[in-house]
Structure 1
Amino acid sequence: MLASCTGLAAPAGQAQAQPAIDRADRQRLIHLVRQDCGSCHGLRLNGGLGPALTPETLAGKPPAYLEHVILRGLPGTAMPGWQRMLAPDEAAWIAARLLKGFPEE
């Protein structure tokens, strides 16, 4: 699946801009990931029905790929797309935090 999104990654050596998310939205997104995503990926994001979402398990996956999965889901799996509930900048914020270690509520 990664191959289908390789064009979404930033060119080597070029950092992606981090989306600006205000404090209230950050708290809402942290709660959403911990509760809604956590219902499949484990409340500590260490895996469950869905795979773990830890920096170790996501290492090597481009942020743009993760954003795409968050927004569009993964066909043929239980992973739904969240594009009706999340804006692209919110998905980018979530992806960036997952790669660093997702904050607690």
Structure 2
Amino acid sequence: MNRPLVLSLVAALATGAGAAETPRDAEALKHFVHQDCGSCHGLSLKGGLGPDIRAKALEHYDPEVLREVILGGIPGTAMPPWRPLLTDPEIDWIVDYLMTGEE
């Protein structure tokens, strides 16, 4: 993962922690999911180092569980915690996007 690229993308996305009700740039978040999450989960999100994260593969998960995985990562694995880099509305958008496959 290219940490400076991630940080610059997240900085461009950030609206301030909890400052906004909705993410400012859904297209940038979609790009973030496919590029940054896709670096482990595959660019089409079908799986790679990490598992398939398309809507069909996630349908049995509670959205709150997925949200907590994104926020806190999974210790002992390559899944990083995104809590320091994404706002709550951005994480909510990502969870919805992953769970539905829609923007």
- TM-score normalized by the length of structure 1: 0.73
Corresponding position: 1:20 with 2:27: no
Q: Which residue of 2 aligns with 1:12?
A: none
Q: Percent identity?
A: 47
Root mean square deviation of aligned Cα: 1.4
TM-superposed CA distance for 1:28, in Å, is 1.3
Kindly provide the CA deviation profile for residues 11-49 of structure 1, in whole angstroms up to 9, marking residues without a partner as x.
Answer: xxxxxxxx6234xx2111111111111000000000000
Q: Which residue of 2 aligns with 1:74?
A: 74
Q: Which residue of 2 aligns with 1:47?
A: 47
Amino acid at match of 1:44: S
TM-superposed CA distance for 1:102, in Å, is 5.2
TM-superposed CA distance for 1:73, in Å, is 0.3
Q: Which residue of 1 aligns with 2:99?
A: 99
Q: Which residue of 2 aligns with 1:61?
A: 61
Kindly provide the CA deviation profile for residues 33-78 of structure 1, in whole angstroms up to 9, marking residues without a partner as x.
Answer: 1111100000000000000101111012111111111111011211
- The structure 1 segments of at least 4 consecutive aligned residues displaced by more than 2 Å after TM superposition are 19-22
Amino acid at match of 2:100: K
TM-superposed CA distance for 1:99, in Å, is 0.6
CA distance in 2 between counterparts of 1:71 and 1:64 reads 10
- TM-score normalized by the length of structure 2: 0.74
Q: Which residue of 1 aligns with 2:4?
A: none
The answer for unaligned runs of 5 or more in structure 1 is 1-18
Q: Which residue of 1 aligns with 2:32?
A: 32
